Amino acid sequence: MQFLGVLLSAFFAHSLVLSGYGLRQNVALGAKKTHYRWVLLCLYFVEALILGFAGWGFRALAANNAMWTYLTPLFAVLIMSICLGGFALLTKYCFPEAMRNDLSDSYVEIGLNSSLLALVVVLLSYEAGTDAVMLIGSIICLPLGYLAASYATGAVLDRLSVSNTNGPFRFATMPLLLLSIAGLCLGCWMMTF
């Protein structure tokens, strides 16, 4: 039951709140004009998995040497940089041109931001004593839930932006979505009582 609780909270509550933090970068994930967004989703998921397990490793290293407590974010960024560099090369030399042009502006921000968010949450959301099964459940469920939430909020934002391009009152786009996310956070928070 506790395991199920961890999975559900990782999938829904954490992810919904977190998707708000990376809102600006999620637009491409839900944008209608990005035809190959599934590639971004795959990139994010693979990166988040790598970083989730790397975060686990860093935590183990930090138990023996306090240096890793402080240097984990830097090393996480380095791992992400390698992933992104690799993906950029893959895009340039292996992907068809249409796909390359479609993704060119989006994947860097999404890759860097969202996967570090995943790592941070993985690092923060489990206690030192959490058993391995729960941890692996969290590492897999969190990015999946985050992807779903990011896709949804990105799609809503994309549609709102399009429908309000010529609108007289700019409050109706991003701030409105932020208010909706605030409402979701309130709901998640109230469910914890």
Partner 1 sequence: MEQTKKGFLSSFLDGLYFNNPVLTLFLGLTLAVLATTRFQTALMVGVLTLVILFLTVLIVSLCHSFLNKVGATILSAILSACFATVTMLLLVAYAPKLIDTENEKAIALLTLVPFISTTSLVLIKGQESLEHPLSDNLGDALGSGIGFLLALVLIAFVRELLATGAITFTAIDGTSSTWTAWSGWTLGILSQPFGGFFLVAIFSGIHLAILEAKKQKASVAKEAK
Partner 2 sequence: MNLIGKTALVCCFAAVAAVGASVGIYYGVTAPAIAARVPSGDAVPEVVATLFADDAPTGVTKIIDETTVTSKSYLLDGYRVYLPDTSVKAFYYRCRSATGFGGKVTFDIGIKNDAVAYYAFVKSNEDDQGTNWARATKDFIGYDGSSDVVVTGATVQETPVAMQTAVDAALTDAKGRE
* Residue ranges binding partner 2 (CB under 8 A): 66-67, 70-71, 74-75, 78, 81, 85, 89, 92
Q: How far is the CB of 74 from partner 2 (least distance, A)?
A: 6
DSSP 171: G
One of 8, 32, 42, 85 touching partner 1 (CB under 8 A): 85
Contact partner at residue 171 from partner 1, partner 2, none, CB < 5 to 8 Å by partner kind: partner 1
Instruction: Please report where in the chains the tokens 């502006």 appear, as a residue.
Output: 105
Integer Cα distance of 122 and 109 in angstroms: 20
DSSP 10: I
Contact partner at residue 175 from partner 2, partner 1, none, CB < 5 to 8 Å by partner kind: partner 1
One of 40, 43, 79, 116 touching partner 1 (CB under 8 A): 116
Count of other CB atoms within 10 angstroms of residue 192? 7
Nearest to 154 by CA among 11, 17, 30: 30
**Cβ nearer to partner 2, comparing 82 with 186:** 82
